[in-house]
Structure 1
Amino acid sequence: MFLTGGAGTGKSHLIKAVYYEATRILARILPNPDDVSVLLTAPTGVAAFNINANTIHSTFSIAIDAQLPYQPLGEEKINTLRSKLSSLQILIIDEISMVDKKLLGYVHGRLRQIKQTGDQLPFGGVAVIGVGDFYQLPPVKGKALYVNSEGVDLWNDYFSIAELTEVVRQQDSEFAETLNVIRKRQKSDDLDAHVVTMLQNCETGEEGKGIHISTNQKVDECNIRKLHSLSSDVICINAQDLYRDPKTKKLVK
């Protein structure tokens, strides 16, 4: 299932509710109640941190530079995963818009290995809930999931949609609708005059403490100003980058 909705519709709250209730219910029927039956994951470290989860890559031992066709894990590594996730019933992937087709294919392959399914059941028979909003960030590289592809299409062929429509974060319905207009706006679309007016009325002229959304250069300038305002005694430390040479296995500067 694909669970979607705009900002403030309660996606993160629903994730936590599903995780809690499903874990509680499934614990009654598992041979070992402490086995992992429901798993929370996300494609990036920041997204995973927000829901107290792990990244998809670390959870399923998928290399950042993994390539197609699918490369199965060796027996030792897959047995380690199997010992942790053999009872897995539900996989929840937050910020699904940042997952590309290759990564979803690897999740499918890993779950089939873990579950040791001989048939072609998607994701080894594990129920997958993708949560997110395709109006938000796309994959850094690779094809977005909604793009049609030839052959088996894990996303378009198997996922149904459930959309949350009621904004619960904003009590002002007119302001909530304005935010939704901005969410769906194309670059070529002009904003209505009343939308522009509402946004301008939100300006106070004061220096806020909120997150700045701008170019990297302006964000860096803002961070430096804030740093200097906190302390006049600023010390610069030059970092050294080290990497391990794949041939000699030695650290190189």
Structure 2
Amino acid sequence: MHSHLTQIMGINSNAVIYGNVAIIAIGDFYQCSPVVATGIYSSLLWSDHFQYIELKINERQKTNLSFSQMLNRIRKLKKKENISNEDRDMLEKCHQRYLSQEYD
């Protein structure tokens, strides 16, 4: 990202970070694992020039704590881990509820 932005902005100095462009990076780092062994957030440019803020309140599901907790458990699963039976049942109930609303 640094090299592309400095090239786009026409800056040839290594003293200018990210092409002197303000960057706001927003996302869920659990959703996409890095393509290579280390992600961009482990690089020195990332750690030296970005501030990490973790949002802890799930606004969409804040009225249903058990559903919100289930979503967090699922998003933290590793590639080879299986979802628990309780979480699978909760998802199935939500799916059935959705299907019944769709055909009403």
Between the aligned partners of 1:119 and 1:203, the Cα distance in structure 2 is 52
Between the aligned partners of 1:166 and 1:132, the Cα distance in structure 2 is 14
Please name the residue that 1:129 is paired with: 24
Relative to structure 1, the CA distance from residue 193 to residue 132 in structure 2 (aligned partners, 3 Å threshold; closer, same or farther) is same
**Percent identical:** 30
Between the aligned partners of 2:74 and 2:95, the Cα distance in structure 1 is 17
Between the aligned partners of 1:106 and 1:155, the Cα distance in structure 2 is 14
Please name the residue that 1:164 is paired with: 55
Between the aligned partners of 1:131 and 1:195, the Cα distance in structure 2 is 27
Structure holding more strand per residue: 1
State the structure with more CA Rg: 1
Between the aligned partners of 1:162 and 1:108, the Cα distance in structure 2 is 26
Counterpart AA for 2:24: I
Relative to structure 1, the CA distance from residue 139 to residue 190 in structure 2 (aligned partners, 3 Å threshold; closer, same or farther) is closer
Q: TM-score, normalised by structure 1?
A: 0.32
Structure holding more helix per residue: 2
Q: Cα offset for 1:127?
A: 2.5
Instruction: Pick one of 32, 45, 58 that aligns with 1:154.
Output: 45
Please name the residue that 1:180 is paired with: 72
Q: Secondary structure at the match of 2:53?
A: strand
Stretches of structure 1 that go unaligned for 5 or more consecutive residues are 1-102, 210-253
Task: Determine if contact 2:41/2:47 at 8 Å carries over to the other structure.
Answer: yes
**Residue-by-residue CA offset, 1:93-142 (whole Å, 9 max, x unaligned):** xxxxxxxxxx442024323x2xx58560312433221111222235779x
Alpha-carbon RMSD: 3.2
Q: TM-score, normalised by structure 2?
A: 0.67
Task: Determine if contact 1:117/1:124 at 8 Å carries over to the other structure.
Answer: no
Stretches of structure 2 that go unaligned for 5 or more consecutive residues are none
Please name the residue that 2:7 is paired with: 109
Asked whether 1:191 is paired with 2:55, we answer no
Higher relative contact order (CA 8 A, sep 6+): 1
Counterpart AA for 1:110: I
Between the aligned partners of 1:124 and 1:133, the Cα distance in structure 2 is 25
**Residue-by-residue CA offset, 1:166-207 (whole Å, 9 max, x unaligned):** 011122111011111111111332333322221222232838
**Residue-by-residue CA offset, 1:17-61 (whole Å, 9 max, x unaligned):** xxxxxxxxxxxxxxxxxxxxxxxxxxxxxxxxxxxxxxxxxxxxx
